[in-house]
């Protein structure tokens, strides 16, 4: 068993390929409308899902016909919009708007752990306090609670992220074929840990089981190595869809969508 205690990602060298000069800058350009010429379906459920699969691109003047229980999320030049059936909808009309600010997206792409959302109680008027779990601040951080395929743009900068970092914790990374176990440890208050690439090498198709001490169940992660970092929002969504990296796609959509009902349409 290997034991490693790696430092949290440094602000100077981590995720260099995803810095403002590359991915982040192109992403922000994409949100202003110059990088996204078409609308892309990023999530689709209901009886018409086969007709409107994730990854399908639609021109700005397209009409979408949905049946009862259909629900699709479309990524366009102004952000995301959710359309619910039944009904026929024109993509060049409706309450399409930019649902995420440049600052919010910049933080999502470039956050290196210096700004940390804390787990805590939130009180609304007339509502009992509820516990809010922090959301993964970066598209390329590996959430230790999420399994399945995970797209990696740079194996040298892969970071493990844990949602509950109120105390110290450990995780065991198990290679399922030979059973090799590598342990990592987080200090209290730190959500980030560099992936131990020397002890647990990364390659396209590599699979590991991650067992966290503060996680309800272990997860199996199957890595997909992207040939190059996506240069805009459209390319990022396309890469995640094409490679089946669903948890990252969900995170991307949730980050773009501010949760307001203003971008949800139904007849």
Specify the number of domains making up the chain. Answer: 1
Note whether residue 65 is domain-resident.
no
Residue 53 exposure: Cα atoms within 13 Å on the Cβ side: 6
In a domain, 88, yes or no: no
The model's confidence at residue 182, banded by pLDDT at 50, 70 and 90, is very high
In a domain, 104, yes or no: no
- What are 98-136's pLDDT values in tens digits? 444 555 665 565 444 333 433 333 333 444 444 566 889
What integer pLDDT is reported at residue 2 of this predicted model? 47
Backbone angles phi and psi of 121, in degrees to 5: -95, 140
Q: According to the model, what pLDDT value does residue 103 have? A: 55
Residues contacting 242, CB < 8 A, separation 6+: 55
pLDDT the model gives residue 6:
43
- Whether 20 shows a pLDDT value over 50: the answer reads no
Q: Is residue 178 part of a domain?
A: yes
Structural domain includes residue 179:
yes
154 pLDDT tier (thresholds 50, 70, 90): confident
Q: Tell me if 72 sits within 8 A of 50, measured CB to CB.
A: no
Q: With a threshold of 0.85, does the pTM exceed it?
A: no
Sign of CA dihedral 25, 59, 87, 237: negative
pLDDT at 107: 56
Domain that holds residue 184: 2-14+134-256
Mean pLDDT check: name the lowest of 54-58, 96-100, 116-120, 177-181: 116-120
Residue 77, pLDDT score: 72
Nearest CA to 256 out of 233, 239, 226, 231 is that of 233
Contact 159, 195 (CB under 8 A): yes
Residue 153 near residue 229, CB atoms below 8 Å:
yes
Q: Which SS3 state, helix, strand or coil, does residue 240 take? A: helix
Whether 28 maps to a domain, the answer reads no
């Amino acid at each position: 068993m290997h034991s490693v205690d790696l430092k949290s990602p440094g602000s100077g060298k981590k995720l260099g390929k995803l810095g403002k000069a590359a991915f982040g800058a192109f992403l922000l350009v994409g949100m202003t409308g110059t990088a996204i010429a078409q609308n892309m379906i990023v999530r689709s459920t209901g009886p018409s899902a086969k007709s409107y699969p994730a990854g399908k691109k639609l021109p700005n003047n397209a009409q979408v016909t949905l049946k009862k229980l259909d629900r699709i999320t479309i990524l366009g030049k102004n952000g995301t919009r959710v359309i619910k059936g039944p009904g026929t909808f024109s993509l060049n009309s409706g309450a399409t708007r930019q649902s995420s600010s440049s600052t919010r997206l910049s933080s999502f792409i470039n956050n290196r752990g210096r700004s940390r959302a804390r787990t805590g109680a939130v009180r609304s008027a007339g509502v009992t306090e509820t516990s809010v779990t922090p959301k993964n601040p970066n598209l390329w951080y590996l959430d230790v609670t999420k399994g399945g395929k995970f797209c990696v743009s740079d194996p040298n900068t892969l970071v493990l992220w844990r949602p509950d970092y109120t105390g110290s914790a450990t995780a065991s990374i198990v290679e399922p074929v030979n059973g090799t176990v590598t342990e990592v440890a987080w200090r209290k208050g730190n959500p980030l840990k560099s992936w131990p690439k020397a002890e647990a090498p990364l390659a396209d198709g590599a699979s590991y089981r991650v067992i966290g001490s503060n996680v309800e169940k272990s997860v199996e992660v199957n890595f997909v190595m992207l040939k190059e970092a996506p240069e805009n929002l459209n390319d990022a969504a396309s890469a995640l869809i094409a490679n089946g990296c669903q948890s990252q796609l969900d995170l991307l959509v949730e980050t773009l969508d501010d949760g307001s009902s203003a971008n949800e349409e139904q007849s």
